[in-house]
Homo-oligomer: A and B are copies of this chain.
Amino acid sequence: MYREKIKVLDCTIRDGGLINNYQFSDDFVKAVYGALCEASVDIVEIGKKLCVSEDYSRDKFGKWNFCDEDDIKRVVESHECENPPLLSVMYDVGRVDISALLPADQSVVGMVRTACYVPDIDKGLDLVKRTKDQGYETTINIMAASAAIETELIEALQQVNETPEVDYLYLVDSFGAYYSEQVTDYLELYKQHAPNKELGFHAHNNQQLGFSNTQQAIIDGVNLLDATINGIGRGAGNCNLELLLNFLKNPKFDVRYVYKVIQEHFVPLREEIEWGFNDIYGISGHLNQHPREAMKQRANAEIQDNCYDFLLKATAEVP
């Protein structure tokens, strides 16, 4: 028997874009969107909504880093859909121009998710309030909770709890560091200090636990679940959407369309860019470290598989 309250949020384009600087072709994004419509995924996150700047030029970064209304519309209009998914975009604290955000009733987007680290919680909640004022559904995604000092994390959770504009509070396993027991422990902490909030969970697959930790989150009562097609995402990637839909018993989901877009679009893409579990991400996840060093090593063909060297370096004592 399925739990009707569970919603699945696909962030294929948004998290996948972190690998290739959002250089997906329009055809690819349309194919992904079409598959997600047919599969009846509840929410589709189509990209980030950041400001153009010198560092973030349109040349260097693809359009899904900026999510202009017209670009999104072109995708949405490419596929007729009886019950279209809610569309979401992601905000990063410090890199957005909220004054440019259209009121929700004039936009194809219906949800804005705000990502921030614990020390930026005030800035994050300010963005949440202002996006809620514009009529959007909102989330706050507290990143790298596994590396936060617990007293500061608790204070942030209490602030979230007292902010009625937050619709969903996310536990995010940024470093792919959690075992199932830690998913449970952190969710207990979240429930204790933010009892008013509905919870979301975003996994990473560093230790081959992206999917299983998402199952644990379900068992622990989380009702908003992130996943990506084929697990695409930065570093070791995310919870695989197709595995998750197989697991969930809600008859509205139709996983066939996800496997179809994998066969037709993701198999060729895997020749161009890399994502998913490997030994080096497994080590960085276990050590609860930011994946940047692991990604650096994976990007160097000569040493990309030198997991032993990576382990020694990652665990070397600081002199």
Contact = CB atoms under 8 A, between A and B. Distances in A.
Interface of A: 179-181, 205, 207-213, 215-216, 219, 230, 240, 242-243, 246-247, 255-256, 259-260, 262-264, 267, 277, 279, 282-283, 286, 305-309, 311-312
The SS class assigned to the A binding surface is helix
Contacts of A213: 212
A219 B216 CA distance: 13
Contacts of A216: 180
Contact of A260 (B179, B219, B308): B308
B207 A208 contact: no
A205 B211 CA distance: 12
Nearest to A310: B259
A185 to B, nearest CB: 13
Contacts of A283: 246, 259
Contacts of A215: 179-180
Contacts of A205: 208
A308 B208 contact: no
30 contacts: A179-B247, A180-B180, A180-B212, A181-B219, A205-B208, A207-B211, A207-B243, A208-B210, A208-B240, A208-B243, A208-B277, A209-B211, A211-B212, A240-B282, A242-B279, A243-B282, A243-B286, A246-B286, A247-B286, A255-B311, A256-B308, A256-B311, A256-B312, A259-B279, A260-B308, A262-B279, A263-B305, A263-B307, A263-B308, A263-B309
Contacts of A255: 311
Given A207-B211, A208-B205, A308 B259 contact: yes
Nearest to A267: B305
A91 to B, nearest CB: 30
Closest 4 CB pairs of A and B: A212-B212, A263-B308, A259-B308, A246-B286
Contacts of A207: 211, 243, 246
Contacts of A209: 211-212
A241 to B, nearest CB: 11
Contacts of A246: 207, 282-283, 286
Nearest to A255: B311
Given A242-B282, A243-B282, A279-B262, A211 B208 contact: yes
A230 to B, nearest CB: 7
Nearest to A306: B263
B212 A262 contact: no
A309 B267 CA distance: 13
Contact of A259 (B230, B240, B267, B311): B311
Nearest to A261: B308
Contacts of A309: 263
A285 B50 CA distance: 40
A264 B308 CA distance: 9
Contact of A307 (B181, B262, B277, B286): B262
The CB with the most chain B CB atoms within 10 A, among A180, A247, A263, is that of A263
A271 to B, nearest CB: 10
